[in-house]
């Protein structure tokens, strides 16, 4: 394994951990970075498997909460309500993701220009929604109406287009449906767990025949980097958005998408 490839894997792992849970599209960033760095992984196996690092990061942060929910589930109505809500929010994107899997990975994932355009459009939407005088009606992720959970799940379907951002789609959807900014981000975390685990398992199965022992070192480096950085992000994001909102991430998307379009125009 060339040293340069290990460094590329380290960089991409850090990028995955940094962007997975903020509304800027981790997939879009990874695909663009890989395109301009010349980083190739068969069947996008590297990009798929390092997501496990980010998954484990959020599971570790919420482990006590999840364990308590498991204990309370048989008898506590609020916990039961919340679990049903997560399932309702999970199902729309899960259904479409399986139905359109091949098209997404072989067509949409191969279009850096589309990713850049979606980054820019998503940035504009995020800036507009962040400034809208929306009166928040829901301040607790566990007791929102089921139609709100389902509506957030419908918004999550937009994230099947690379560059849109799973967390961005769910956060914007949650805010438009009446949650405050912190609650929108927190529910995005909870929804990420089944969504990312489901996508990871499905993609791992689909790519089971293309992985080899030579892939292990770069995947391991990317996995560890994604885990450590995602852990830091999850610990700090809720307080940040409660105080400052999402404008920073909207501008981030505009800059990255704009620079990407310029680079594609110059270098292809």
What pLDDT, in 10s, does the model give residues 94-118? Answer: 999 989 988 987 888 889 999 999 9
Q: What residues contact residue 152 under an 8 Å CB cut-off, 6+ apart?
A: 89, 170, 173, 174, 177, 187, 191
Yes or no: say if 123 and 252 are a contact pair by the CB < 8 Å rule.
Answer: yes
Range of the structural domain that residue 64 is part of: 3-267
246: pLDDT strictly greater than 80: yes
Binned at pLDDT 50, 70 and 90, residue 6 comes out as: confident
Predicted pLDDT at 43: 57
Q: Please state the domain count of the chain.
A: 1
Q: What is the pLDDT of residue 1?
A: 44
Question: Which pLDDT score is estimated for 123?
Answer: 97
| Placement of tokens 């849970």 in the chain | 21
Q: Give residue 73's pLDDT band: very low, low, confident or very high (50, 70, 90).
A: very high
pLDDT-derived band at 44, boundaries 50, 70, 90:
low
Whether the pTM exceeds 0.75: the reply is: yes
Q: What is the pLDDT of residue 47?
A: 78
CA 223 to CA 17: how far, in whole Å?
A: 9
Residue 128 scores a pLDDT above 80: yes
């Amino acid at each position: 394994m060339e040293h340069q490839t290990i460094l590329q894997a380290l960089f991409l792992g850090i990028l995955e951990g940094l962007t997975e849970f903020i509304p800027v599209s981790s997939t879009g960033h990874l695909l663009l970075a890989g395109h301009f760095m010349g980083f190739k992984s068969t069947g996008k196996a590297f990009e798929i498997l390092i997501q496990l690092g980010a998954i484990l990061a959020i599971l570790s942060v919420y482990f006590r909460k999840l364990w308590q929910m498991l204990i309370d589930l048989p008898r506590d109505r609020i916990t039961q309500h919340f679990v049903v809500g997560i399932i309702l929010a999970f199902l729309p994107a899960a259904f479409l993701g399986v139905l359109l899997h091949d098209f997404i990975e072989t067509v949409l994932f191969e279009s850096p220009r589309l990713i850049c355009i979606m980054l820019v459009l998503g940035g504009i939407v995020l800036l507009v929604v962040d400034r809208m005088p929306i009166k928040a009606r829901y301040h607790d992720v566990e007791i929102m109406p089921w139609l709100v959970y389902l509506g957030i799940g419908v918004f999550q379907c937009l994230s099947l287009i690379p560059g849109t951002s799973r967390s961005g789609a769910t956060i914007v959807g949650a805010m438009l449906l009446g949650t405050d900014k912190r609650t929108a981000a927190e529910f995005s975390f909870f929804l990420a767990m089944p969504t990312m685990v489901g996508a990871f398992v499905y993609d791992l199965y689909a790519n089971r025949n293309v992985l080899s022992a030579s892939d292990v070192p770069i995947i391991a480096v990317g996995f560890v980097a994604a885990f450590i950085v995602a852990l830091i992000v999850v610990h700090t994001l809720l307080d940040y958005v409660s105080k400052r909102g999402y404008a920073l991430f909207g501008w981030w998307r505009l800059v990255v998408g704009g620079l990407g379009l310029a680079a594609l125009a110059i270098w292809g």
